[in-house]
A and B are shown apart, each in its own frame.
Chain A
Amino acid sequence: MGFISRGFKGRREPAADSSRLPPGQYLVRDFPVLSAGPTPHTPLAEWSFTITGAVDADKTWSWEEFRKLPSETVTKDIHCVTKWTKLDTSWTGVAVSTLLEGIDTSADYVVAFSDGGYTTNLPLEDLVDGKAWVAYEFDGRPLEPEHGGPARLLVPHLYFWKSAKWVRGLSLRNEDEPGFWESNGYHLYGDPWREQRYWGD
């Protein structure tokens, strides 16, 4: 592939603190935009977030209801499987634990689904206990559509393809079902510290 844009590679920075850089990664200061399809522009009046799948009853929030949920602001390092790492990114959103409150499920896995048809799979335990958020602000400002706004999943301890842009809900599953990238070569779990990029890593 000869075509690599500036946005894809980002600007390379020397590692300030190598203990925060997973194997095979380099640091960027900008925020590269990755996109596997057209950017959705769902009006907030039509937006909703749904917990579905292996639950007794679906739970859905409108944008207005979602924004009234308790929020948290967190600072996290993010690691993209295309090898860039960005340190100290600031996000505001609703903890997934908050969204799952009162939901009784036997499921061990989740498929996050997004506008545009993107999906990604995760173990449920990786979304709870302060490990994941549905974020709607980046750096104190509303999340831009190109970065997944109005809201994206944020699971910073896994490669960033797991942090689904334009997320609209979580489907709880009893089996681990590969998502968009996981069904075509990318690792089912995707731990950057174990460099789990591809099948078999």
Chain B
Amino acid sequence: MLESELKVDGNAIGGLLREFFTVEMTAAESTCAGCGKVHVVGRVDVYMNAPGVVVRCPSCTNVLMRVVRGGGRVWLDLSGMRCIEFTDPEA
């Protein structure tokens, strides 16, 4: 398999993030805790052929987010994301 087939962009997790955050997140802006660069969620690097979903910074490959689902539970690690800005659903 080509490596390019293993990596997709952040639009692939739009549905998943909507489940957790209840709003459209692909236009949200995330700040990488590693390099400080800001990326639109729709353009981050996503690896889904794995035991969980791994989201990486396109600038430095630092892990921004990890999502594991199984046995009726979800584990969501956002420690690689210093901040995420998104539209206030109440606005």
Residues of A within 8 A of B (CB): 1-5, 7-8, 32-39, 81-82, 116-117, 146, 161, 181, 183-186, 197-201
Inter-chain contacts of A198 with B (CB < 8 A): 68, 70-71, 73
A197 to B52, CA, bound (A): 12
B:18-74 near A, CB below 8 Å: 47-54, 56, 61, 63, 66, 68-71, 73
Question: Separation in Å of the A178 CB from the closest CB of chain B?
Answer: 11
Residues of B within 8 A of A (CB): 1, 3, 5-8, 12-13, 15-16, 47-54, 56, 61, 63, 66, 68-71, 73, 75, 77
A200 to B71, CA, bound (A): 10
Extra pairs beyond A2-B15, A37-B61, A38-B61 (4, CB < 8 Å): A4-B48, A36-B51, A185-B75, A198-B68
Query: Given A32, A82, A184, which contacts B75 in the complex, CB threshold below 8 Å?
Result: A184
Query: Which residue of chain B lies nearest to A31 when distances are taken between CB atoms in the complex?
Result: B1
Query: Given A34, A199, A200, which contacts B51 in the complex, CB threshold below 8 Å?
Result: A34
